[in-house]
A and B are shown apart, each in its own frame.
Chain A
Amino acid sequence: MSWTPGDEMLVVQRASPPGAAGGTYRAFGETLRGLKTTMSRLVEGPKTISYPEEKVPVYPRFRGRHRLHRFEDTGLEKCVGCSLCAAACPADCIRVVAAENTPENRVSAGERYAAVYEINLARCIFCGYCEVACPFDAITMGHDYEMSAYNRTDLIFTKEMLLDEPLERTPLRGEGE
């Protein structure tokens, strides 16, 4: 080892050996000191949150279940089926099948649209890379974290499910709170 620490080292204070004369003192004195920690918690009151009746609000950056978006004015889908999100996904859980928009059937604002858009939430690791990758802000990470299901197949979310408003909103807190 070529390195000497000098005064950057801090030797931790060694406790005295158990038992002996000090043992009798510690059995009372130190136990009482420890109880001070325990008892002063009574004053603080409980920290428990009664989930699911009470929910902890999430922060704006929290990455929960994905949302697909539409343009507010025209109602057209923002997603153009470019599959960039699928390319970025480390868990390979997005499936996009694109189709051409036609004048009779215009779904998205671009030339093409996503005919199939599925996210397998059983595989998703909520890294948010899809959100980062999407150049059109079509997919974002929402705030919902309650996604358990009885069936694995129920965890494959289709385009319609991702476009819809979530059934129940997760409470959100402001940036500085």
Chain B
Amino acid sequence: MSTDVTRPASEYRRMEESITMAPLEPVETGDDVNHELLTLNMGPHHPATHGVLRLLITLEGEIVRDLKPIIGYVHTGIEKTAEDKSYWKAIPVVERMDYLAYFFNAYAFCGATETLLEVEVPPRAQYLRVIHLELNRIMSHLVWLGTSALDLGAMSMFWYCFRDRELILDLFEQSTGQRMHTRYIQVGGVAEDIPRGWASKLKQFTDQMPSRVDQYKDLLANNEIVLQRLRGVCPLAEEELLKLGVTGPLLRATGNPWDLRKATPYCSYDHFDFKIPVGTEGDNWDRFAVRVAEIYESVKIIEQAMDGLPEGAWMTDDRKVALPPRHELATSMEALIHHFKLVTEGFRVPPGEVYFPIESPRGELACFVRSDGSSKPARVHMRDPSFVNLQATAPMTEGSYIADLIATLAMLDPVLGGIDR
């Protein structure tokens, strides 16, 4: 195939060339070559961008002067797709946004739908949700810790974290049937009860997890290189973060204890005794320490939830919402009719709109659902914490070294699947 340069430009090529990048402020450089500005493109395929994030960086020497995140490389149109599916069918779709927090995505959506439907979720289902949500939080933090440490050059951390993450994924596989994107949380409860033997496996895990985190801390927390790379690097004041709408561990690192699990308890989080780790300075080291401390707290919540796990149903008995039990399909005509109705058309949701916020591993994850009374949502919108938190990259890193930008991006923990949706 030959490339004919004289051929008239295609429509696409014209479109592409019509885009001009916003001009960057020229800095008076004089004739000193050391102060010349360099525009550098980082990503979208760069190992340190944690996904397909593209950064347009203006550098003066090694100092970051300007930074523009460019997103949209994994835009999947999930929000729009969800409008075309009945509520039941939208769950596994919505779940795939933030691929490290699938239980959270599903719960935000189901919680919003349950609020509109005003269905009561049985206590056992709530506890099972809490256990899986917290396992998911630990899993997400382990991925963050492993990849962040890798960015700082601590290769073995990556393997340790993924080894322990494997234990969690194993638990997910056993109880929900899938390691990722489990569709375990359903409107009105959870899909299945936990299987036999799961509780003891979970116990094994919660028993060993704190000592594993101790080992990680031994390796990282006081290491001179880690301190040099993280402590006092790229802080941002609490007011700035609040102005940008940043939530989660980033905000808590500055000392603001805003955690939705405590502030507006949902899903019986008020039954459990746990603390909110906060930092003081809001620099990268605090961001690191807060997340690591959160792992211990999550383990505590799981232990309490498992000890106090109530007996009873794990799905609401509201037949307008929940599928009838399988054994009834063969015997009861009414159950069969309900089953057909729910599978083909789905349940109808009374008109209204709701905003349902929960605390995901990265901050306030909320689902907005507007219903027009039909069996499909009229609008689904996710407030994804990674998307909002990404705005803080520029104010955090302006004037810092490019190497610190990498560390800050790692401590920011963005998940591009959630940002682009």
Which chain A residues have a beta carbon within 8 Å of chain B's beta carbons? 1, 3, 5, 8-19, 23, 26-27, 30-31, 33-34, 36-38, 40-41, 47, 58-63, 84, 87-90, 125-129, 132-133, 135, 141, 175-177
Closest to B222 in A: A30
| Given A14-B286, A33-B219, 7 more pairs with CB closer than 8 A | A10-B276, A16-B222, A30-B222, A30-B224, A37-B218, A41-B156, A128-B183
Asked if A8 contacts B262 (CB within 8 A), the reply is yes
Asked if A18 contacts B218 (CB within 8 A), the reply is no
Question: Which chain A positions have C-beta within 8 A of B117?
Answer: none
Question: Which chain B positions have C-beta within 8 A of A88?
Answer: 89, 343-344
Question: Which chain A positions have C-beta within 8 A of B96?
Answer: 125
Asked if B177 contacts A63 (CB within 8 A), the reply is yes
Q: Given A1, A10, A126, A129, which contacts B277 in the complex, CB threshold below 8 Å? A: A10
Question: Which chain A positions have C-beta within 8 A of B339?
Answer: 135
Least CB distance, B142 to chain A, in whole angstroms: 15
CA A8 to CA B274, docked complex, whole Å: 7
Which chain B residues have a beta carbon within 8 Å of chain A's beta carbons? 85, 88-90, 92-93, 96, 156, 160, 163, 173-178, 181, 183, 192, 195-197, 215-216, 218-224, 227-228, 231-232, 255, 257-258, 262-263, 274-281, 285-286, 289-290, 293, 297, 323, 329, 336, 339-340, 343-344
Question: Which chain A positions have C-beta within 8 A of B257?
Answer: 5, 8-9
Given contacts A18-B228, A58-B173, A129-B89, contact A10 B293 (CB under 8 A): yes
Least CB distance, A66 to chain B, in whole angstroms: 13
Closest to A29 in B: B222
Asked if B278 contacts A11 (CB within 8 A), the reply is yes
Asked if A11 contacts B231 (CB within 8 A), the reply is no
Shortest beta-carbon contacts, A-B, top 6: A176-B197, A18-B227, A61-B177, A10-B275, A12-B289, A127-B92
Closest to B259 in A: A5
Closest to A136 in B: B329
CA A141 to CA B220, docked complex, whole Å: 43
CA A61 to CA B290, docked complex, whole Å: 35
Question: Which chain B positions have C-beta within 8 A of A84?
Answer: 340, 343-344
Given contacts A12-B286, A84-B344, A176-B196, contact A31 B278 (CB under 8 A): no
Question: Which chain A positions have C-beta within 8 A of B275?
Answer: 8-10
Asked if A34 contacts B220 (CB within 8 A), the reply is yes
Given contacts A12-B277, A38-B156, contact A31 B224 (CB under 8 A): yes
Least CB distance, A25 to chain B, in whole angstroms: 9
Number of residue pairs A-B, CB distance < 8 angstroms: 150
Asked if A33 contacts B222 (CB within 8 A), the reply is yes
Q: Given B89, B195, B220, B277, which contacts A61 in the complex, CB threshold below 8 Å? A: B195
Question: Which chain A positions have C-beta within 8 A of B223?
Answer: 26, 30-31, 34
Closest to A132 in B: B323
CA A129 to CA B178, docked complex, whole Å: 13
Question: Which chain B positions have C-beta within 8 A of A176?
Answer: 195-197
Asked if B344 contacts A87 (CB within 8 A), the reply is yes
Question: Which chain A positions have C-beta within 8 A of B344?
Answer: 84, 87-88
Question: Which chain B positions have C-beta within 8 A of A8?
Answer: 257, 262, 274-276
Asked if B224 contacts A59 (CB within 8 A), the reply is no
Question: Which chain A positions have C-beta within 8 A of B163?
Answer: 47
Question: Which chain B positions have C-beta within 8 A of A14?
Answer: 279-281, 285-286, 289
Asked if A61 contacts B192 (CB within 8 A), the reply is yes
Least CB distance, B365 to chain A, in whole angstroms: 19
Least CB distance, A94 to chain B, in whole angstroms: 13
Given contacts A87-B343, A127-B92, A129-B92, contact A62 B173 (CB under 8 A): yes
Asked if A175 contacts B92 (CB within 8 A), the reply is no
Question: Which chain B positions have C-beta within 8 A of A90?
Answer: 85, 89-90, 92-93
CA A63 to CA B176, docked complex, whole Å: 9
| CB pairs A–B below 8 angstroms (11 shown) | A10-B275, A11-B278, A11-B279, A12-B277, A16-B227, A18-B231, A26-B223, A132-B323, A135-B329, A175-B197, A176-B197
Closest to B297 in A: A10
Given contacts A10-B276, A127-B92, contact A175 B224 (CB under 8 A): no
Closest to B178 in A: A63
Asked if A10 contacts B195 (CB within 8 A), the reply is no
Given contacts A1-B258, A8-B276, A61-B176, contact A15 B343 (CB under 8 A): no
CA A11 to CA B8, docked complex, whole Å: 64
Q: Given A34, A89, A135, which contacts B218 in the complex, CB threshold below 8 Å? A: A34
Least CB distance, B191 to chain A, in whole angstroms: 8
Question: Which chain A positions have C-beta within 8 A of B285?
Answer: 14-15
Least CB distance, B241 to chain A, in whole angstroms: 13
Question: Which chain B positions have C-beta within 8 A of A41?
Answer: 156, 160
Question: Which chain A positions have C-beta within 8 A of B258?
Answer: 1
Given contacts A12-B290, A15-B221, A128-B183, contact A61 B227 (CB under 8 A): no
Question: Which chain A positions have C-beta within 8 A of B197?
Answer: 175-177
